[in-house]
Structure 1
Amino acid sequence: MNQQMAEHYLLAKSASSLYYPFGDDISVFKVKNKIFATISHGSNAKSAKVAEDAKGHFWMNLKCAPDEAEILRDIFPGVIPGYHMNKSNWNTIILDGSIPQGELERMIDNSYLLVVSKMTKKDQQSILIQL
C-alpha cells in the first residue's frame, strides 16, 4: 500500500476528514474531530532513530492498543514507536511495501475503531450506523 492508497482508504471511513494543521506536508485524518491517523514523508523525521532508507518513504501514524503496538513492532521491521506521538498508544508504519495490504487495512480499521470507541454514545451511534 502506498501513500495515495492509504489516504483513499482512510478517507473512505465514515465521517472521516482530512486536515493540514501542521502544514501542507502532514496529512491529518480525523473522525468527528478526533485524530485517528497521520501521513507524512519520512524525510521530515530529523531525529528518528531508523535506517536512512526508511526516511525515503511515507510514514503513517496509527492509534493502537499498547500490547498490540509492541507485538506489531516485534513482527514488522516497518512498524516503529509513534513518531511525535505517545509511544505506547501510537505506531508509525513505514509505507515501504514490507507490510501486506490486508494487515495495513486491519491496522487502519483498528485505529479508527479505537478512536470511535472513546467518543460519546451519540457520536458512536451516528458513525457505527453507517458501517
Structure 2
Amino acid sequence: MDGITLQDIARARAEELPAAAITHPFGPDYDVAKVLGKMFLLLTEVHGVPKVVLKAEPHDAEALRSIHADITPGYHMNKRHWITLEPDGSLDEEFVRELVTDSYLLVVEGLPRAQRPVEPASFLAAESAPDGGDASQA
C-alpha cells in the first residue's frame, strides 16, 4: 500500500479508539494521536514519503523489525520503544490496524487505573465480540 493509504488506515483506527484524539503539537504537518495526553502514533513524512510511527514493547519492536523489512526503528524516536511503518511493503490493512491498537493499549496500560478509558486485558475480547460490545455477552 502507498504511504497515504497507510496513514489513512492508521489515522482512522486511532480515531476509533476510546478517548483517543488527533492533535498537532509539532505543527500542522504532523498528526499525533494521543490517549489522555499520551502519544501513541505519529504520522509524518520523511523526504516526501508518508510514514507511520508507533509505540511498541522493545522485544516486540525487535521481533517486528526482524520479520518485516517494512518495519524499521522509530523515526526521530527512541529506537527501542518505537517503530516506523514504511509504505509499499507487505503490510496489510488489518495488520496496520492491529499495530495501532497495540500501540494504544501499551500507552493505556501505563495510565493510572482510574484514568484508563478501557481495560487493556479485556479490550480486544470486547471488540471481537459478535455485537462489538461486552465480550461477556458473547
1:75 alignment partner in structure 2: 67
Once residues 24 and 97 of structure 1 are traced to their aligned partners in structure 2, the CA distance between those partners, rounded to angstroms, is 27
The one of 20, 34, 38 aligned to 1:34 = 38
Matched, 1:99 2:91: yes
Please, what TM-score do these two structures have when normalized by structure 1? 0.82
Q: Which residue of 1 aligns with 2:21?
A: 17
Quote the Cα distance in structure 2 between the aligned partners of 1:76 and 1:106.
Answer: 15
8 Å contact from structure 1 (residues 57, 96) kept in 2? no
Secondary structure in structure 1 of the residue aligned to 2:39: strand
Tell me the equivalent position of 1:116. 108
4+ runs deviating over 2 angstroms: 95-98
SS in structure 1 opposite 2:78?
coil
What is the CA deviation profile of residues 27-73 of structure 1, one whole-angstrom value per residue up to 9, with x for unaligned ones? 11000000010001222xxxxxxxxxxxx531111110111101110
Cα contact 1:66–1:89 (8 A) shared by 2: yes
Aligned Cα root-mean-square deviation (Å)? 1.5
Distance 1:88 1:97 in 2: 22
- TM (normalized to structure 2)? 0.78
Aligned to 2:10: 6
Q: How many residues align?
A: 116
Residue identity over aligned pairs, in percent, reads 34
- The 8 Å contact of residues 28 and 39 in structure 1, kept in 2 or not, is answered as yes
Residues 70-128 of structure 1, C-alpha deviations (whole Å, 9 max, x = no match): 1110111111101111110100111335212121111111100000000011111xx11
